[in-house]
Amino acid sequence: MHDSPTLAETAPPARRTTRDLTKAAVSGWLGTAMEFMDFQLYSLAAAIVFNKIFFPDVSPAIGLIAAMATYGVGYVARLAGAIYFGRMGDRIGRKKVLVITILLMGASTTLIGALPTYATIGILAPSLLVLLRLIQGFGAGAEIAGATVLLAEYAPVRRRGLIASLVSLGTNSGTLAASGLWAILIGVLSEDQLLSWGWRLPFLLSFVLMLFAVWLRGGLKESPVFEERPDVVDGVAMDRSEVESTIAAVSSVDEHRSSVLAAGIRQRKGRAFFLALGLRLGQAGNSGLIQTFLVGYIATNLSVGRSIPTDAIVYGSLLGFATVPAVGMLGDRFGRRPLYMALSLLTVVMAFPVMFLITSGSTPALMLGMVLGLNIGVLGLFSLESVTMAELFGSRTRFTQLALAKEIGGILTTAIGPVLAASLTAVTGSWWPIAVMLVVYSLITFVSAYLAPETRGRDLVRLEDAV
């Protein structure tokens, strides 16, 4: 147990240069890009080829459902990773956790590219695929939460939305890289080549990116907010009993400082978490439908070329390089709450028209629908999510609560949503259930944003939640 130090000893001012901020921004962007590239590589493979090479003895519709279910397995492991690494990140710092998580993600993704297929080893092939998805998910469960926390805690207050949006830009970059790789493979390889060896290349190439990301994060300084926390001593957060003893030791000397610590450990948790979860459901649910399910649905059920849905994701991701920072800057100027409500309501209004465009039979209309849905209902909301969720939580449990909100929201929507959508569209023979799901997800986020406080400019060193 630590001795009971004074708060002046535990919370020295942390200084970071522009170079430190740049390294943190690149690190957060790159790690998140790698996470989303890994998962988008898998989601596209699940939609395009995995139903044939890992689940070949079933009908195309059942094979798609099985591949999507295997995709969803990773989200269960993400929840375990969020709990384990989230607590570690709040206890010993953000940087150390982010090195571990990226190693787990990169190694498991690379090994997926080396897996034997069902034709080679039978049922063991999909079993190994599930195992690697579990390892990949365990590392990814805290990756984006850690990158979000790190960037938000590094950023200047007036530019926090813009800087934190780089996490969302990382997701966009990863999606673009994965979709671009798949678009190239589909365009230049025959179906036999794609199924026999071509699908392995994107997974194996991720190893190089992992090495660079680990090197970059190894030289990164810890979050200044973590170092300034009044409950952190020598780089490690005090547990509750240590905080209580510190409060007793300093209360007679400095009542204000004592109250700062007390606020962090005695606040009743829950309201901020559920508001963050509601904000997460719209973005995650829309992402699972647009970036994962629709790619497989279009390729399987609509009479269009198999490269068209992946091309649409590429174009939407390119436009996202403007959408994400623009939304971040608007959030810095006008606040998080009004922008959240506007984007989620716009997604509700556009859900049926977007699905009509996608299923109209016109390739330009399909492209337009996918690009609009991706930028408004997914990337725009993600840009806001990256900063708002970090601001909702106090610094003592920010990593853990943010990771849990993201991963529980992911399980409820991104993991289950594509499987539910596949089942509903198979039963109804129509696209309207997809539009209904987009509306429901976005309405949940709208209501959550309406009930949430405005968090722009909040002091992130404070230990207690915003509500």
Of 247, 244, 271, give the one whose Cα is nearest residue 259.
247
Q: What is the pLDDT of residue 386?
A: 86
Q: What is the pLDDT of residue 15?
A: 66
Which tops the pLDDT comparison, 219 or 423? 423
pLDDT, tens digit, 9 for 90 and up, residues 232-255:
888 888 888 777 777 777 655 566
Q: What is the mean pLDDT of the chain?
A: 85
Inform me whether the pLDDT recorded for 14 exceeds 90: no
Residue 10 has, within 13 A of its CA and on its CB side, a CA count of 25
Average pLDDT value for residue range 148-170: 90
Inform me whether the pLDDT recorded for 288 exceeds 80: yes
DSSP string, 391-458: HHS-TTTHHHHHHHHHHHHIIIIIIHHHHHHHHHHHHH-SSHHHHHHHHHHHHHHHHHHHHSPP-TT-
Alpha carbon distance 312, 322 (integer Å): 16
Q: What is the pLDDT of residue 2?
A: 44
Q: What is the pLDDT of residue 280?
A: 96
Q: Per-residue confidence at 120, pLDDT binned at 50, 70, 90?
A: confident
Inform me whether the pLDDT recorded for 7 exceeds 60: no
Inform me whether the pLDDT recorded for 327 exceeds 90: yes
Q: Which of 4-8, 60-64, 236-240, 360-364 has the highest mean pLDDT?
A: 360-364
Which residue intervals of 288-380 are DSSP H helices? 294-301, 308-334, 336-358, 363-374
Q: Per-residue confidence at 343, pLDDT binned at 50, 70, 90?
A: very high
Alpha carbon distance 176, 179 (integer Å): 5
Inform me whether the pLDDT recorded for 382 exceeds 90: yes
Q: What is the pLDDT of residue 8?
A: 41
pLDDT, tens digit, 9 for 90 and up, residues 257-287:
677 777 777 777 789 999 999 999 999 999 9
The answer to whether the beta carbons of residues 299 and 48 sit under 8 Å apart is yes
Q: Per-residue confidence at 72, pLDDT binned at 50, 70, 90?
A: low
Q: What is the pLDDT of residue 69?
A: 62
Q: How far is CA 21 from the centre of its chain?
A: 21
CA dihedral (174, 370, 165, 327) in degrees, to 10, reads: 160
Q: Which of 159-163, 168-172, 445-449 has the highest mean pLDDT?
A: 445-449
Q: Which of 45-59, 227-241, 384-398 has the highest mean pLDDT?
A: 384-398
Q: Per-residue confidence at 345, pLDDT binned at 50, 70, 90?
A: very high
Tokens in use for 172?
Answer: 């966009």
Average pLDDT value for residue range 381-389: 93
* Confidence (pTM): 0.84
Average pLDDT value for residue range 87-110: 90
Question: Per mean pLDDT, which range of 36-40, 152-156, 268-272, 430-434 is the poorest?
Answer: 36-40
Q: What is the pLDDT of residue 3?
A: 46
Q: Per-residue confidence at 58, pLDDT binned at 50, 70, 90?
A: low
% of the chain surpassing 70 pLDDT: 90
